[in-house]
């Protein structure tokens, strides 16, 4: 393994791979990932990628839809970067070999909730993320300057003289703790859905990157804004498998146990309202009818269309005894995406020199209080590339010491303590969940603070610390906006709360107006 690359990227999802390809134009890049190269939230993205490329779409419409979904908290500068540069990077991805679905030779677009146009590209029906990762990994493997290192878990960031200049990681070949130095580090470690008991995220989404950045001194923003996907498969013997937003975009209907369509009783947009509204409508209907799930009905749609358009969802449901074309799908909300993260400008720069971030781990302000469906893959491409370009532009020198150190490492000191993990997950689900109130949040903060002080390893403490930061931010924001709903403060208050939460080690939580101004 090369000991002194010029650049380090942590994470092999869409943001990390795109950053690595940008950096490889300048010098050697090491891409470290704690699992398989293709195991990330990107791979599980079913619905597609939103981009204003169709003949009846416009950049301004995509901007407007994103701003509306973000509930008044999007940074418009970041949104314009995303939407205006998106077509360029999607076209580039197609040139690299990504195969999006087509009709009659032309790109096929579908519609999802809160989009005013059919602008969602998809691949192999419902395997868009997997196809994007495949194309990016293929491009990275062809580049002589990129070294892809799987099963190399990063356990900390190295900071010297106020600058991030490397990482500590577990060598996958020898189970040694090693240190690697570089001109800059790009954090692309994804989200933190595993903080909650019910999530659509894979097991790797434990928020390690966010926690390491916070511990190193970087500022965090908007951690109170957590998106609950309305329609996760609700079976006792099945994982919380995501039933894509695109199902509702193609005409799926939400029904209660009496068979009544109820979504429009809560919002005139019905099934196509923003995710936070649909998720709360399902919870409200579950409470009203004293049931534990609702149903998603696609039986009125063409069976052949459903099998062709959603092959992965169709086959997965069959494994659990449900036929998408004949049966009602039991669904309930589950944590899906974290809008907040490590604060960055529109070039991926964090508040810690030498540390850059892109993708779900970062918070550019592009999503505001509620991410517009299918903007996340586009975000990874656009801001991954921009972070890589910013690193090249900043031209930070290699640190004076680039000798890699190695030491024996007890793997038990890195593994998450399962007892603590389960306690955190249940506490976050019940006290910091879809519907929040002060008394619950205070209980969560107190217990999570105690967990952070317990005699556990550093990774477990980081896990509890990130949960505590989320709970503190949710307690601080005394209003309801987007993915953050306070039962005791049910109204949106632009007069006082149209600000981003900001948290940094050793400092009280505060509000800032613009994320993009670092």
pLDDT tens digits for range 6-33: 999 999 999 999 999 999 999 999 999 9
> In the prediction, which pLDDT does 411 show?
74
> In the prediction, which pLDDT does 40 show?
52
Q: Given its phi and psi angles, is residue 121 left (phi above 0), alpha (psi -120 to 50 degrees) or beta?
A: beta
Q: How many CA atoms lie within 13 A of 22 on its CB side?
A: 28
Which of 18, 275, 309, 468 is the catalytic position?
275
Q: Is 275 a catalytic residue?
A: yes
> In the prediction, which pLDDT does 518 show?
64
Beta bridge mates, 294: 331
In 372-474, the DSSP E strands lie at 406-408
Which two structure tokens, joined as six digits, stand for 302? 């063409």
Write 321-324 long-range contacts (CB < 8 A, 24+).
322/235, 324/298
Backbone phi, then psi, for 160, in 5-degree steps?
A: -135, 130
> In the prediction, which pLDDT does 22 show?
98
Q: CA dist 484 to 32, 268, 338, Å?
A: 33, 21, 11
**Mean pLDDT estimate for the chain:** 92
Residue with tokens 């899906």: 336
Q: What is the pTM of this model?
A: 0.92
Distance CA 248, CA 257 (A): 18
> In the prediction, which pLDDT does 47 show?
61
Distance CA 225, CA 143 (A): 37
3-state secondary structure of 81: helix
Question: How big is the CA angle at 5 (ends 31 and 209), to the nearest 5 degrees?
Answer: 40
Q: Residues of the chain whose pLDDT is less than 70?
A: 1-3, 38-47, 402-405, 518
Residue 161 burial (CB count, 10 A): 9
């Amino acid at each position: 393994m090369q000991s002194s690359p010029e650049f380090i990227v942590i994470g092999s999802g869409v943001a990390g791979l795109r950053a690595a390809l940008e950096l490889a134009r300048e010098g050697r890049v090491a891409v470290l990932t704690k699992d398989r190269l293709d195991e990330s939230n990107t791979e599980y993205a079913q619905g597609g990628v939103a981009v204003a490329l169709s003949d009846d779409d416009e950049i301004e419409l995509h901007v407007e839809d994103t701003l509306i979904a973000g509930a008044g908290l999007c940074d418009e500068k970041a949104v314009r970067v995303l939407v205006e540069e998106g077509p360029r990077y999607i076209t580039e991805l197609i040139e690299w070999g990504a195969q999006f679905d087509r009709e009659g030779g032309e790109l096929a677009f579908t519609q999802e909730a809160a989009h005013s146009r059919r602008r969602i590209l998809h691949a192999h029906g419902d395997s868009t993320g997997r196809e994007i990762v495949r194309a990016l990994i293929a491009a990275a493997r062809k580049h002589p300057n990129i070294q892809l290192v799987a099963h190399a878990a990063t356990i900390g960031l190295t900071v010297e003289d106020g600058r991030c200049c490397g990482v500590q990681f577990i060598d996958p070949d020898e189970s040694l703790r090693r240190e690697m130095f570089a001109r800059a580090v790009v954090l692309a470690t994804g989200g933190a859905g595993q903080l909650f008991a019910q999530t659509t995220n894979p097991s790797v989404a434990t928020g390690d990157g966010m926690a390491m950045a916070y511990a190193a001194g970087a500022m965090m923003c908007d951690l109170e804004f957590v998106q609950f996907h309305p329609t996760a498969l609700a079976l006792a013997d099945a994982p919380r498998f995501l039933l894509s937003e695109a199902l509702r975009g193609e005409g799926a209907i939400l029904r209660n146990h009496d068979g009544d369509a109820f979504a429009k009783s809560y919002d005139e947009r019905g099934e196509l309202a923003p995710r936070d509204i649909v998720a709360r409508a399902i919870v409200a209907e579950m409470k009203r009818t004293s049931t534990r799930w609702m149903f998603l009905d696609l039986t009125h749609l063409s069976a052949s269309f459903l099998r062709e358009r959603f092959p992965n969802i169709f086959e997965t449901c069959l494994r659990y005894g449900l036929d998408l074309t004949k049966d009602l799908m039991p669904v309930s909300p589950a944590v899906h995406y974290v809008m907040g993260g490590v604060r960055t400008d529109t070039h991926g720069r964090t508040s810690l020199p030498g540390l850059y971030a892109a993708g779900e781990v970062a918070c550019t302000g592009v999503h505001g209080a509620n991410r517009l469906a299918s903007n996340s893959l586009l975000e990874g491409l656009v801001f991954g590339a921009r972070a890589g370009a910013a690193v090249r532009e900043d031209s930070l020198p290699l640190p004076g010491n680039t000798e890699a150190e190695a030491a024996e490492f007890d793997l038990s000191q890195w593994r998450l303590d399962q007892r603590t993990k389960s306690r955190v997950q249940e506490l976050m689900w019940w006290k910091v969940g879809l519907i929040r109130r002060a008394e619950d949040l205070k209980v969560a903060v107190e217990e999570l603070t105690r967990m952070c002080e317990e005699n556990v390893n550093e990774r477990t403490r980081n896990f509890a610390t990130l949960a505590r930061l989320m709970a503190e931010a949710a307690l601080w924001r005394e209003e309801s906006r987007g993915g953050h709903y306070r039962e005791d403060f049910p109204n949106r208050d632009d007069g006082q709360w149209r600000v981003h939460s900001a948290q940094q080690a050793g400092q009280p939580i505060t509000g800032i107006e613009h994320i993009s101004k670092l």
